[in-house]
């Protein structure tokens, strides 16, 4: 392939795309980026693209704030028009957003090969819109890049090995990004001076299944409050979640800070004692930086982290959270084990696509 269109819709997807953009540039593959605008992000300024060394989008669709159906439909329409005009050799999508599904649908209906990075991931929870997006995207893709053995096995169990689809284990581009940006974060971030804590636990709460359930959110806050009595807990929190806490009179005793950028998040991850999160990406990033993780969900796409003892799933149960915290206090683990490709995923993907 000599010309690829990459479709992204959220800031984390830009970070993933940056790892491949660098490799495409080295191999002489022309890449055009379409930003659907799915997640409006005021932090994605000129400085964001410069600091992260990310190519600016060739197309901005500015589609956000709609229902799932309306959003996906409008993206499909906008992307299709661009693909007809640009005639790429392939369309590359990441992960499991509405932008991912819309891009895959638009390309497949035009008989343009679809490349799915982060293929084969499953939470086995069909109530999550992300699960629907990733299953459908895998099924209509032509080339699937799986980050883990678990992802490969999921596709095998669903019968993908009998389909005319190319499947590769590539490793995870998020590890490439974490390793690449870690050094830059040391120079760019001021977050550790701001919080000024010798030891702390890093927490994040953002999933709707937790923030929109008063019972779950109350239990999670109670669990974090308990841990905070032993060691400070620092939680970068979205204004929406902060407002819910205030409206419901749920009182955190831990430290709430404003949402942080990628460099600040890297420094928090590198320095903290432990991570407590409901984020899929942060679970992996904790591992990349050698930290145990407690996950505030009932299931995870990153089952290998649980199976290898790096991660414990506790849902919103404050007692399980306390038990997991105690179990990790003195635990030592080998974080050098290769679960995600050791930072070579983007290089592998680009070389395969160059020959495709």
pLDDT interval class at 44 (50, 70, 90): low
Reduce the DSSP state of residue 60 to 3 states and report it.
strand
pLDDT digits over 70-96, tens only? 999 999 999 999 999 999 999 999 999
Q: At what angle do helices 11-27 and 345-355 cross, to 10 degrees?
A: 60
pLDDT interval class at 194 (50, 70, 90): very high
pLDDT number for residue 141: 98
Q: Is 206 an active-site residue?
A: yes
What is the C-alpha separation between 273 and 345, in angstroms, rounded? 28
Within 10 angstroms of residue 329's Cβ, the number of other Cβ atoms is: 11
pLDDT digits over 241-287, tens only? 999 999 999 999 999 999 998 899 999 999 999 999 999 889 999 99
Is pLDDT larger for residue 42 or for residue 350? 350
Q: Which of 42-46, 163-167, 186-190, 285-289 has the lowest mean pLDDT?
A: 42-46
pLDDT interval class at 43 (50, 70, 90): low
pLDDT number for residue 12: 84
Point out which residues pair with 114 in neighbouring strands. 91
* Mean of per-residue pLDDT scores for the chain: 95
116, 206, 238, 292: the catalytic one is 206
The DSSP symbol for 113 reads P
Reduce the DSSP state of residue 347 to 3 states and report it.
helix
- In order of start, what are the domains of the chain with their CATH numbers? 3-172+341-355 (3.40.50.2000), 181-328 (3.40.50.2000)
Q: Rounded to whole angstroms, what are the CA distances from 276 to 70, 209, 311, 324?
A: 34, 16, 10, 10
pLDDT interval class at 65 (50, 70, 90): confident
pTM greater than 0.85 (yes/no):
yes
pLDDT digits over 275-310, tens only? 999 998 899 999 999 999 999 999 898 999 999 999
DSSP string, 192-259: HHHH--SS-EEEE---HHHHT-HHHHHHHHHHHHHHHTTS-EEEE--HHHHHHHHHTT----SEEE--
The DSSP symbol for 185 reads H
Q: Rounded to whole angstroms, what are the CA distances from 24 to 3, 28, 29, 175?
A: 10, 6, 5, 18
pLDDT number for residue 49: 82
pLDDT number for residue 54: 85
Q: Rounded to whole angstroms, what are the CA distances from 356 to 248, 337, 353?
A: 54, 31, 5
pLDDT number for residue 324: 98
| pLDDT(41) > 70 | no
pLDDT interval class at 127 (50, 70, 90): confident
pLDDT interval class at 16 (50, 70, 90): very high
Burial 335-349 (b: 16+ CB within 10 A, else e): eeeebbbebbbbbbb
| pLDDT(5) > 90 | yes
At residue 243's C-alpha, the angle toward residues 237 and 247, to 5°, is: 140
| pLDDT(326) > 80 | yes
| pLDDT(40) > 80 | no
| pLDDT(123) > 70 | yes
Mean predicted confidence (pLDDT) in 169-177:
96
What is the C-alpha separation between 338 and 10, in angstroms, rounded? 27
pLDDT digits over 332-344, tens only? 999 999 999 999 9
């Amino acid at each position: 392939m000599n010309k690829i269109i990459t479709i992204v819709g959220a800031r984390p997807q830009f970070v993933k795309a940056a790892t491949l953009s660098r490799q495409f540039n080295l191999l002489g593959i022309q890449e055009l980026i379409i930003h659907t605008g799915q997640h409006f992000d005021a932090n994605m300024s000129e400085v964001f693209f410069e600091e992260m060394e990310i190519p600016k989008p060739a197309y901005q669709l500015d589609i956000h704030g709609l229902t799932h159906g309306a959003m996906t439909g409008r993206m499909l329409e906008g992307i299709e028009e661009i693909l007809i005009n640009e005639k790429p050799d392939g369309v590359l999508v990441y992960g499991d957003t509405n932008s991912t599904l819309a891009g895959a649908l638009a390309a497949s209906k035009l008989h343009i090969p679809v490349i799915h990075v982060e293929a084969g991931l499953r939470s086995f929870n069909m109530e999550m819109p992300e699960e629907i997006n990733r299953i459908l995207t895998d099924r209509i893709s032509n080339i699937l890049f799986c980050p883990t053995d678990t992802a490969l096995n999921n596709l095998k169990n669903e019968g993908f090995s009998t389909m005319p689809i190319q499947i590769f284990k590539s490793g995870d581009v998020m590890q490439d990004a974490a390793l690449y940006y870690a050094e830059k974060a040391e120079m760019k971030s001021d977050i550790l001076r701001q919080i000024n804590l010798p030891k702390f636990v890093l927490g994040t709460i953002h999933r709707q299944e937790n923030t929109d359930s008063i019972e779950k959110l109350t239990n999670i806050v109670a669990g974090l409050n308990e841990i905070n009595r032993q060691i400070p807990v620092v939680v970068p929190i979205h204004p929406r979640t902060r407002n819910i806490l205030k409206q419901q009179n749920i009182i955190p005793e831990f430290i709430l800070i404003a949402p942080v950028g990628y460099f600040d998040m890297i420094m928090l991850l590198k320095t903290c004692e432990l991570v407590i999160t409901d984020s899929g990406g942060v679970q992996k990033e904790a591992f990349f930086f050698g930290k145990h993780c407690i996950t505030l969900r009932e299931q995870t796409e990153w089952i290998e982290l649980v199976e290898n003892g790096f991660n414990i799933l506790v849902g919103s149960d404050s007692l399980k959270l306390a038990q997991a915290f105690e179990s990790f206090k003195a635990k030592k683990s080998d974080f050098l084990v290769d679960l995600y490709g050791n930072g070579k995923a983007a290089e592998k993907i680009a070389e395969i696509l160059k020959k495709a």
